[in-house]
Amino acid sequence: GENVEQHPSTLSVQEGDSAVIKCTYSDSASNYFPWYKQELGKRPQLIIDIRSNVGEKKDQRIAVTLNKTAKHFSLHITETQPEDSAVYFCAASTSVYGGSQGNLIFGKGTKLSVKP
Amino acid sequence: DTGVSQDPRHKITKRGQNVTFRCDPISEHNRLYWYRQTLGQGPEFLTYFQNEAQLEKSRLLSDRFSAERPKGSFSTLEIQRTEQGDSAMYLCASSLRGTYQETQYFGPGTRLLVL
């Protein structure tokens, strides 16, 4: 089955710096890669996602890149702010049953701390 | 609030007792997922439904766990004869099959503590 590895487990940056979190996946059939942000005691919230037919996607200060050949994808956050502090999870999913998405396989998370 | 809701938010029980959790998905969503999250880990898939049909179960889901979605709307997850290792956050998510990306939206979770 699919396995998703996520690095680093903790990341500390100064406000205004960039942060990069990397994930690798094992199943070449995986074709959907979302990123979730989870603040302490709250639900995971989707911040950006990408499909395997796209190499990069940006949304304001957040971008995700995908390398299908190497089976890895990365989250890039620019101009970090203290409110970006949270745990970030990457995930992977494959298509099942006529093209719809199946369940998500998550990485173990990265705790990002942005120091003012 | 039109998001995914879960009840109860917290549950403390003694080992050997049965517990049941409820999840109400976003109203038009036909897919409903259950995940389990332990401290310092990402959510782990347990099972999912499309409408009332349970389409997949993880091997993590022992025979003490059962889930239902009888009318294709809310779902319940029951754990029988709870063990201390069942202590975790149980997350529910829903999505609408056929929409772009089929984004899964998570509920706030039910935190279970087995003493």
Of the partner residues B41, B101, B106, the one whose CB lies closest to the CB of residue A44: B106
Closest CA to B62 of B86, B33, B28, B94: B86
Interface check for B44 against chain A (CB to CB < 8 A): the answer is yes
- pLDDT 10s per residue in chain A (116 long)? 889 999 999 999 999 999 999 999 999 888 899 999 999 989 999 999 998 888 999 999 999 999 999 999 999 999 999 999 999 999 998 866 555 677 899 999 999 999 99
Q: Which residue of A has its CA nearest to B4?
A: A43
Chain B residue with minimum CA distance to A31: B101
CB contact under 8 A, A32 and B104: no
Yes or no, beta carbons of B103 and A44 under 8 Å apart: no
Residue B24, judged by CB atoms within 10 A of its CB (0-12, 13-18, 19+), counts as: middle
- Rounded Cα–Cα distance for residues A47 and B53 (Å): 29
| Among the partner residues A43, A49, A91, nearest to B107 by beta-carbon distance | A43
Task: List the end-to-end C-alpha distance of chain B, in Å, as a whole number.
Answer: 33
**Could you tell me how many CB contacts below 8 A there are between chain A and chain B?**
63
- Tens place of pLDDT per residue across chain B (115 aa): 579 999 999 999 999 999 999 999 999 899 999 999 999 899 999 999 999 999 888 887 889 999 999 988 999 999 999 999 999 999 999 998 776 668 899 999 999 999 9
Is B45 at the interface with chain A, CB within 8 A?
yes
Contacts with B40 (C-beta within 8 Å, 6 or more apart), sequence order: A108, A109
Rg (CA), chain B: 13
